[in-house]
Structure 1
């Protein structure tokens, strides 16, 4: 087998139109890796037809240094995606002499060529730390295949120190040396639009915003209850995917008499999200647990002051660029929101600290660390 070129594959089979943290991580990291790719490497993208269309929208397509392999048209059910990721990659890996497969989440194929290395990515262990986020079948699936994947992977990437510490806490110190912390960065979309000036306002008047999928660990119920205790004219806006399933939040708002003050926005586009965050008086993340917290970087970059839960991972990301509250205390959350809204010096200091803190995160730096990991794994290839 010739030493060069070395073929590296990327598992994009999971890709769908719904914007998630893993999707952002995968696309942004790959684009940064593509810019830094050495001539000795050829990149292979393994995805579905739907995934290829999404990647094409982001400027990722076949060229001299990138080959795209479509192994299915799309998948209708989550179980179909899992089957593709577990059982349908091996032939592509063998046929293209893939030396290294980079998986953007924890799930790795059950079979691979003996010579192929695998990197898996640890975003969080929410299914262990906040189990009511997932159904029992999903928790059982993750329990089985997470253990298999981290054991079989040659290297693991954790997106935060907190995620790595959680991994070691639950699975043992044997994963310390195997795991490299490589943080997320700020989306290029946000950097580009920020340079274009202030985006058009979508909501009239003052408002507070929270961004993220409708999931139990996002802690939106307590946020709404805390907001009900705040004497403010500002609306509360919660924007993210699956908001069409948020019947419980709508019912809670009705019970608290907040129907005209709570706005739930489903699946905002990047441009809409940038406008929503940049014009908000406060950005609030009340999560009980997270793997990283990408929207925090987005809020900091758009000069929106951040309030968030006093949990290790968010303190790791924000440091002194956020005002913290106890996510289990409705009273503390309400007090901190009220305090921030009525203290211009505090808000200005948070904005200034946010501008400084966000500079610590870039996909370019993350890609350099990943490239070093590739070089280490393929040293004797």
Structure 2
């Protein structure tokens, strides 16, 4: 069986939730003996790899323009998949799913993973939102199999398109890598257990500006706020966020992975995710795997994780977020043991591979 994957910017070490998902999933798929190729967007690639952990990597030139790079890349990737004689094209996210009918017309089976209703993201205008909604429709109606990462998304597809055979397969999280990196902490000017961590892309719907504002209103008692992440496209929002963050003494790490990120997760006193939009946030699951107390907005995707009621705050309510930050800093640090069993990547890979097995010739 030959599998080609598109809809992601690429792997490894490329920022984004879909990218993290693919980085964990597809090496496990390849290890099951499935010939797996991921087609990457060349503008995001900073290596010369042709293979990584058993996954073949092909790079395609696409313009780095957020309004149409995904659709151009997917069009080229589907044509490449046909040339490679792929049996299955696995399309990730609703924008790229717009071209599901093309892959079907070319005789390939399509598996579509819906990572979330991206048309709800604040960064998109009317035209882009319309195309994303059309992509969701095309993927849901024409894919041979549809994977959803949360019940929230499944309910959307049942309600809007009456598709009732979607496969609910959650995002996963790897085993935590507990580590120390004192040199990095010295570089950042932070101490173990004396910082609150935010970790995501710097885009409007993540509401990091609310976190900065809320943190600026409390007596931090020497505790700092660390924001790990960056943006794909520097725009007015990301520039403003970085400006106000620096003005309030927030530590900005930029995009990090590996030992730097693991050390921050190991020694944070709390993780905060104030988003107005998520599919099923891998960053939250990752923080939970490190037993961190969390403070998260009460959007449906976060509620589905099933945390205790008192960790949620009303999305956009800065006063409520401020009160929860203050309470966290005032109390002694207490690690929390979460049930992470349904977020096991090995089990997730097995579920996905079972879908592929239906199409073995």
Normalised TM-score (structure 1): 0.79
Alignment match of 1:22 (pick from 18, 21, 37): 18
C-alpha distance in structure 1 between counterparts of 2:216 and 2:110, whole Å: 49
Alignment match of 1:59 (pick from 41, 49, 53): 53
Query: 2:2 maps to which residue?
Result: 7
C-alpha distance in structure 2 between counterparts of 1:238 and 1:144, whole Å: 34
User: Where do residues 273-312 of structure 1 align in structure 2 (5 Å cutoff)?
Assistant: 273-312=261-300
The answer on whether the counterparts of 1:27 and 1:55 sit within 8 Å (CA) in structure 2 is no
C-alpha distance in structure 2 between counterparts of 1:368 and 1:352, whole Å: 28
The 1:44/1:285 distance shift into structure 2, 3 A limit, reads closer
Question: In structure 2, the residue corresponding to 1:15 is in which secondary structure?
Answer: coil
Query: 2:36 maps to which residue?
Result: 43
Question: In structure 1, the residue corresponding to 2:349 is in which secondary structure?
Answer: helix
Counterpart check, 1:264 vs 2:252? yes
> Which blocks of at least 5 consecutive residues in structure 1 are unaligned?
1-5, 63-67
Q: Larger Cα Rg: Structure 1 or Structure 2?
A: 1
The answer on whether the counterparts of 2:117 and 2:153 sit within 8 Å (CA) in structure 1 is yes
C-alpha distance in structure 1 between counterparts of 2:31 and 2:150, whole Å: 23
Query: 1:123 maps to which residue?
Result: 115
Question: In structure 2, the residue corresponding to 1:89 is in which secondary structure?
Answer: helix
C-alpha distance in structure 2 between counterparts of 1:160 and 1:227, whole Å: 30
Alignment match of 1:313 (pick from 301, 304, 307): 301
The answer on whether the counterparts of 2:119 and 2:130 sit within 8 Å (CA) in structure 1 is no
> Which blocks of at least 5 consecutive residues in structure 2 are unaligned?
none
The 1:375/1:210 distance shift into structure 2, 3 A limit, reads same
The 1:294/1:71 distance shift into structure 2, 3 A limit, reads closer
The 1:11/1:335 distance shift into structure 2, 3 A limit, reads same
C-alpha distance in structure 2 between counterparts of 1:56 and 1:20, whole Å: 21
C-alpha distance in structure 1 between counterparts of 2:60 and 2:227, whole Å: 35
TM-aligned CA deviation for residue 260 of structure 1: 4.7
User: Where do residues 47-196 of structure 1 align in structure 2 (5 Å cutoff)?
Assistant: 47=40, 53=47, 58-62=52-56, 70=58, 72-73=60-61, 75-78=63-66, 79-90=68-79, 92-93=81-82, 95-106=83-94, 107-108=96-97, 109=99, 110-112=101-103, 113=105, 115-128=107-120, 130=121, 132-169=122-159, 171-172=160-161, 174-177=162-165, 179-187=166-174, 191=176, 193-194=177-178
C-alpha distance in structure 1 between counterparts of 2:137 and 2:216, whole Å: 42
Query: 1:366 maps to which residue?
Result: 348
Question: In structure 2, the residue corresponding to 1:319 is in which secondary structure?
Answer: coil
CA distances 1:291-344 after superposition (whole Å, capped 9, x unpaired)? 011111221222322111122221322534982222222121111111122222
Say which is worse superposed, 76-85 or 46-55, in terms of deviation: 46-55
TM-aligned CA deviation for residue 96 of structure 1: 4.2
CA distances 1:61-87 after superposition (whole Å, capped 9, x unpaired)? 55xxxxx5x463565444344223125
Question: In structure 1, the residue corresponding to 2:93 is in which secondary structure?
Answer: coil
RMSD across aligned positions (CA): 3.0
CA distances 1:252-288 after superposition (whole Å, capped 9, x unpaired)? 45xxxx8253223321233222222222221111111
C-alpha distance in structure 2 between counterparts of 1:127 and 1:220, whole Å: 19
